[in-house]
C-alpha cells in the first residue's frame, strides 16, 4: 500500500518538450513510472523518448487514459496549466514549477473547491512511492520501500531525513513534498489524513518550517484524528522576523505569527516529538517502530 | 518575494487610478525642498523616501510651517541614516488638516488562500499593533478572487468598521479602487494608512504602500521599470546576492553557510546554533547549480568580514556533486592561502564523483551534516581565540 501514487498510476507530463520536463520525464520512466503521454500546446503528434505528445491535457486523458499530471511548465504559464489539469477528471496534478504568481494560485485555490482533482505543490519536488513510481524531481536512489510516510514543505530537507532513515534500514511508503509556497494544494492535514488511512504506514515524519499556520493546524488535527505516531521537525528556528528564508512562504511576520517556537509547542502539545536535528527525527521514528 | 514601491511611486499609481492624494513633489536637495514647498504652499510635510516602517518616530517625517522650518527639516532628513538606509530623497507634500485618520488595506490571507480587505477607524498608527491589541477594531472581508470585490463587500467592510456615514461612500469607493489596483497590478499588499478625513468630509490618502509580487513582474512592465529605483539602499552583500541571483539573508554571526534548498539551508543555520555557533548568513544556491554558481557563492560568503569559517552542505537532487566539487576547487585554487576554513559535506546525486574531484588539501570533508556543522563551529571558535 501507498498513497496517491503507485505502479498503476498513468502519468501525463505537461511541458514534456522543455528542458526540465524532458529530463525529468526520462528520470521518472527510468525509475519505473508509467509515463503515458506528454501535453504541450502546438507540439501534438511529436514523441519524446517514445512518449506521445498531445496539444491538450484533455486529449492525453482521452487517448492514453492518463489519471495524473506532472507539471513542468514555466511560471508565467503554470497557473493556466494547473487550470487545464483541473478541467479534466484527473485524480492528481503535481505542480513542480517555482515562482507562480500568488494571485494565480489564489484563483487555482478557489477552483480546487469545485473539483475532485487533488493538487500537490506548486514549488515542490513531487512525491514518490519507493520501488513503484515517482512524480517529480526527487532522487529515487535514496528512497527504500517500507512503512514510514513522509510529508515535507522542503525538497532537500526531505532527502536529508530520508537518507537518515534509509541508512538505518527504515523504508518509506510514500514521501510527499507539498511545497514551500504560501498557497498550496495538498497541505499537512490532507497528507496526514492519507497516511492515517493507509494500512501500511506505521509512522509518519512531518517536516515543517517557519511561516504561516499550517503546522499548528496539523498539530490540532493530529491531536484529534491521528493514531499513527508522528515525528516532527521544524526548520527556521534561527530565522529573524521579517526576512524571507528562500521559500516564499518561509517568513516570520512582524506580528510574530509563523515562528518555529509556536509550531514546536503546538506539535509537542499534540504528543509529537520534534527533533533538534534530522538525526533525532530518525531516532524518534526508530523508537516508534521498535 | 515582493518588490516594495516607494511612497511617491505608490502615490502616483494610486492617484492615476483616482484615489485623492495631497499635492506633492520629490526632492533630493535642500533647494529642491524649498522650491517644492513654495509651489505647494505651507504648511508642508517633508518625508524620507526609504522603505522602513515607523519613519515618523525615527525622525524621517517633519512638518514645516515656513521656509526656515522646511530648510531645517530638509537638512536633518536628507542624508540621514534611517534604520540602515541612507535617505537620498524626500517627498514634499501639502500638509492635510484632518479631523480623523482611517486605515484601508488589501492583502493576501495565506491561511485562507484568499485576498482580504481591511478597514479600521484606528488609522495613523501601526496596524499590526492594532491587529494584536484590538483585533475587533479592524473589519475584514474576504474576497473571492474569481469574482473580485463586490460593491456590497466594500460597503460592508466600511460599515462594520464603524466609519462615519458622512464619508462611508467615499471610503468604500477608495477601497474598491484599491482592490482593483491590487488585482490588476499583482499586488501583495496595498495599503493607505492614514486615509485622512478632512473637516469638509473629504478623504485623502496621506500615505501609500504598494508591494508587488516579484513573481508577477513579467506581466507588469511599467512597475518592473520602477524596480531599480525601489530597490536602492540596504545591505551591500544582500545587493550583491541579488545580482548573483541567490536567496541570501545576512545575519549577525560568524559561521558562513552555503547549501541547496531553503529547508535544508534553514536547518543548517539551526544546527550551527544548536552546536553553539552563530550563523552569519542564509545562502541558498538553488537547484541544479553549476560550478560557476558554486564559486560565486563562496566568493559571496568570503567577502563578508564577519565570517570566520564556512560550511558547504549540498544534498543533491537535481544539483550534482561533481559540479559542486568543481566549483569549490575553482573558487579556492585562486588563493595562495585559503582565507577562511571551509568544511564540505556532499550527499545525493553524484556525490562519489564529487568526492573524487574535490581537492581535499583545500577543504575539510565531513560525511554527515551534523559532523560538518560541528566542525565548522569549532573552526570559528578557534579563529576567535587567536
Tell me how close the Cα of A100 comes to any Cα of chain B, in angstroms.
6
Please tell me whether residue B300 adopts helix, strand or coil conformation: helix
One pLDDT digit (tens) per residue for chain A, 290 residues = 689 999 999 999 999 999 889 999 999 999 999 999 999 999 999 999 999 999 999 999 999 999 999 999 999 999 999 999 999 989 999 999 999 999 999 999 999 999 999 999 999 999 999 999 999 999 999 999 999 999 999 989 999 999 999 999 999 999 999 998 989 999 999 999 999 999 999 999 999 999 988 999 999 999 999 999 999 999 999 988 777 787 766 776 656 678 999 999 999 999 999 999 999 999 999 999 98
Cβ–Cβ under 8 Å, residues A14 and A186 = no
Closest residue to B216, CB basis, from A101, A139, A180: A101
The answer to whether B279 contacts A238, with C-beta atoms less than 8 Å apart, is yes
Mean pLDDT of chain B: 91
* Residue A209 to residue A198: CA distance in whole angstroms: 25
* Residue A261 to residue A259: CA distance in whole angstroms: 5
Peptide bond before A65: cis, by omega within 30 degrees of 0?
no
| Mean pLDDT on B286-300 | 87
| Mean pLDDT on B26-45 | 95
* Tally of helices (H runs) and strands (E runs) in chain A: 9, 13
Tell me how close the Cα of A183 comes to any Cα of chain B, in angstroms.
6
Q: Which residue of A has its CA nearest to B184?
A: A103
| Mean pLDDT on B334-341 | 88
Q: Is B234 on the interface with A (CB under 8 A)?
A: no
Instruction: Please give the domain boundaries of chain A with CATH numbers for all domains.
Output: 10-120 (3.40.50.720), 139-289 (3.40.50.261)
Q: Is B261 on the interface with A (CB under 8 A)?
A: yes
User: What is the DSSP secondary structure assignment for residue B18, as one 8-state letter?
Assistant: T
B96 closest CA partner among B117, B120, B123, B131: B123
* Residue B186 to residue B209: CA distance in whole angstroms: 14
Tell me how close the Cα of B72 comes to any Cα of chain A, in angstroms.
33
Query: Could you tell me where the DSSP H helices lie in A168-251?
Result: 188-196, 214-225
Cβ–Cβ under 8 Å, residues B138 and B118 = yes
Residues in chain A with CB shorter than 8 Å from the CB of B368 are 279
Q: Is B109 on the interface with A (CB under 8 A)?
A: no
Burial label for A77, CB within 10 Å (0-12, 13-18, 19+), is: middle
Residue B310: phi and psi, rounded to 5, are -130, 135
ipTM comes to 0.91
Residue of A86, A106, A110, A184 to mutate, testing the B interface (most B Cβ within 10 Å of its Cβ): A106
Report the range out of A3-7, B179-183, B282-286 with the highest average pLDDT.
B179-183
Tell me how close the Cα of B22 comes to any Cα of chain A, in angstroms.
29
Q: What's the pLDDT at A253?
A: 64
A58 has catalytic annotation: no
Q: Residue A86: how many CB atoms within 10 A of its CB?
A: 22
Residues in chain A with CB shorter than 8 Å from the CB of B265 are 245-246
Q: What's the pLDDT at B55?
A: 85
Instruction: Please give the domain boundaries of chain B with CATH numbers for all domains.
Output: 23-94 (3.30.1490.20), 98-230 (3.30.470.20), 236-385 (3.40.50.261)
B159 has catalytic annotation: no
Q: What's the pLDDT at A1?
A: 64
Cβ–Cβ under 8 Å, residues A277 and A231 = no
How are beta strands B187-198 and B203-205 bridged, if at all?
A: antiparallel
Q: Which residue of B has its CA nearest to A142?
A: B348
Q: Which residue of B has its CA nearest to A75?
A: B215
CA B344-B348-B352 angle, to 5 degrees, is 70
The answer to whether A125 contacts B317, with C-beta atoms less than 8 Å apart, is yes
Cβ–Cβ under 8 Å, residues B17 and B177 = yes
Q: What's the pLDDT at B237?
A: 84
Residue B285: phi and psi, rounded to 5, are -75, -10
Q: What's the pLDDT at A255?
A: 60
Please tell me whether residue B302 adopts helix, strand or coil conformation: helix
- Which are the contacts of B308, defined by CB distance < 8 A and separation ≥ 6? B254, B255, B340, B379, B380, B383, B384
Residue of A24, A83, A165, A238 to mutate, testing the B interface (most B Cβ within 10 Å of its Cβ): A238
Q: How confident is the model at residue B241 (pLDDT cuts 50, 70, 90)?
A: confident
Amino acid at each position: 500500500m501507498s498513497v496517491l501514487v503507485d505502479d498503476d498510476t498513468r502519468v501525463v507530463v505537461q511541458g514534456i518538450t522543455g528542458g526540465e520536463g524532458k529530463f525529468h520525464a526520462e528520470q521518472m520512466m527510468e525509475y519505473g513510472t508509467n509515463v503515458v503521454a506528454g501535453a504541450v500546446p502546438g507540439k501534438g503528434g511529436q514523441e519524446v523518448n517514445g512518449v506521445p505528445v498531445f496539444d491538450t491535457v484533455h486529449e492525453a486523458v482521452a487517448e492514453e487514459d492518463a489519471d495524473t499530471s506532472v507539471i513542468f511548465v514555466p511560471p508565467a504559464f503554470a497557473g493556466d496549466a494547473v487550470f487545464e489539469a483541473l478541467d479534466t477528471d484527473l485524480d492528481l496534478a503535481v505542480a513542480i514549477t517555482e515562482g507562480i504568481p500568488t494571485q494565480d494560485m489564489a484563483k487555482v485555490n478557489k477552483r480546487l473547491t469545485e473539483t475532485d482533482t487533488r493538487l500537490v505543490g506548486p514549488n515542490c519536488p513531487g512525491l514518490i512511492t519507493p520501488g513503484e513510481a515517482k512524480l517529480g524531481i526527487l532522487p529515487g536512489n535514496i528512497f527504500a520501500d517500507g512503512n514510514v510516510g513522509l510529508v515535507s514543505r522542503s525538497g532537500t530537507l526531505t532527502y536529508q531525513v530520508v537518507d537518515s532513515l534509509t541508512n538505518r534500514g527504515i523504508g518509506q511508503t510514500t514521501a510527499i513534498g507539498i511545497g514551500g509556497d504560501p498557497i498550496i494544494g495538498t497541505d499537512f492535514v490532507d497528507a496526514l489524513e492519507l497516511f492515517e488511512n493507509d494500512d501500511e504506514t506505521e509512522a509518519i515524519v512531518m517536516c515543517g518550517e517557519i511561516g504561516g499556520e499550517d503546522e499548528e493546524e496539523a498539530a490540532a488535527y493530529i491531536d484529534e484524528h491521528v493514531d499513527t505516531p508522528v515525528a516532527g521537525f521544524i526548520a527556521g528556528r534561527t530565522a529573524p522576523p521579517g526576512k524571507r528564508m528562500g521559500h516564499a512562504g518561509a517568513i516570520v511576520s512582524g506580528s510574530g505569527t509563523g515562528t518555529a517556537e509556536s509550531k514546536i509547542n503546538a506539535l509537542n502539545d499534540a504528543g509529537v516529538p520534534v527533533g533538534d536535528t534530522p538525526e533525532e527525527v530518525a531516532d524518534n521514528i526508530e523508537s516508534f517502530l521498535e | 518575494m515582493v518588490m516594495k514601491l516607494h511612497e511617491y511611486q505608490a502615490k502616483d499609481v494610486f492617484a492615476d487610478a483616482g484615489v485623492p492624494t495631497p499635492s506633492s513633489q520629490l526632492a533630493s536637495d535642500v533647494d529642491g525642498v524649498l522650491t517644492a514647498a513654495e509651489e505647494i504652499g505651507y504648511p508642508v510635510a517633508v518625508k524620507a523616501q526609504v522603505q522602513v516602517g515607523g519613519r515618523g518616530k525615527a525622525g524621517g517625517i517633519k512638518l514645516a510651517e515656513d521656509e526656515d522650518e522646511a530648510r531645517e527639516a530638509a537638512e536633518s532628513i536628507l542624508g540621514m541614516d534611517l534604520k540602515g538606509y541612507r535617505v537620498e530623497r524626500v517627498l514634499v507634500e501639502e500638509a492635510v488638516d484632518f479631523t480623523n485618520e482611517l486605515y484601508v488595506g488589501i492583502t493576501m490571507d495565506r491561511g485562507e488562500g484568499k485576498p482580504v480587505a481591511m478597514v479600521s477607524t484606528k488609522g495613523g498608527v501601526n496596524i499590526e499593533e492594532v491587529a494584536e491589541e484590538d483585533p475587533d477594531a479592524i473589519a475584514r472581508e474576504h474576497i473571492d478572487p474569481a469574482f473580485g470585490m463586490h460593491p456590497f463587500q466594500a460597503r460592508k467592510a466600511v460599515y462594520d468598521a464603524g466609519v462615519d456615514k458622512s464619508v462611508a461612500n467615499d471610503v468604500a469607493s477608495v477601497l474598491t479602487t484599491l482592490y482593483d489596483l491590487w488585482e490588476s497590478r499583482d499586488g501583495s499588499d496595498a495599503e493607505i494608512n492614514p486615509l485622512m478625513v478632512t473637516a469638509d468630509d473629504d478623504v485623502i490618502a496621506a500615505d501609500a504602500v504598494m508591494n508587488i509580487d516579484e513573481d508577477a513582474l513579467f506581466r507588469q512592465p511599467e512597475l518592473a521599470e520602477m524596480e531599480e529605483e525601489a530597490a536602492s539602499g540596504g545591505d551591500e552583500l544582500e545587493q550583491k546576492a541579488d545580482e548573483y541571483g541567490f536567496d541570501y539573508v545576512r545575519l549577525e554571526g560568524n559561521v558562513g553557510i552555503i547549501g541547496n534548498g531553503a529547508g535544508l539551508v534553514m536547518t543548517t543555520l539551526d544546527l550551527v546554533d544548536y552546536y553553539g555557533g552563530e550563523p552569519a548568513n542564509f545562502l541558498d544556491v538553488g537547484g541544479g547549480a553549476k560550478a560557476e554558481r558554486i564559486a560565486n557563492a563562496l566568493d559571496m560568503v568570503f567577502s563578508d568580514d564577519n565570517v570566520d569559517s564556512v560550511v558547504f552542505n549540498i544534498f543533491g537532487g537535481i544539483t550534482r556533486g561533481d559540479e559542486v566539487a568543481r566549483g569549490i576547487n575553482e573558487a579556492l585554487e585562486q588563493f595562495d592561502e585559503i582565507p577562511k576554513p571551509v568544511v564540505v559535506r556532499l550527499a545525493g546525486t553524484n556525490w562519489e564523483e564529487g568526492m573524487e574531484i574535490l581537492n581535499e588539501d583545500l577543504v575539510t570533508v565531513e560525511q554527515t551534516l551534523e559532523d560538518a556543522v560541528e566542525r565548522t563551529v569549532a573552526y570559528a571558535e578557534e579563529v576567535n581565540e587567536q
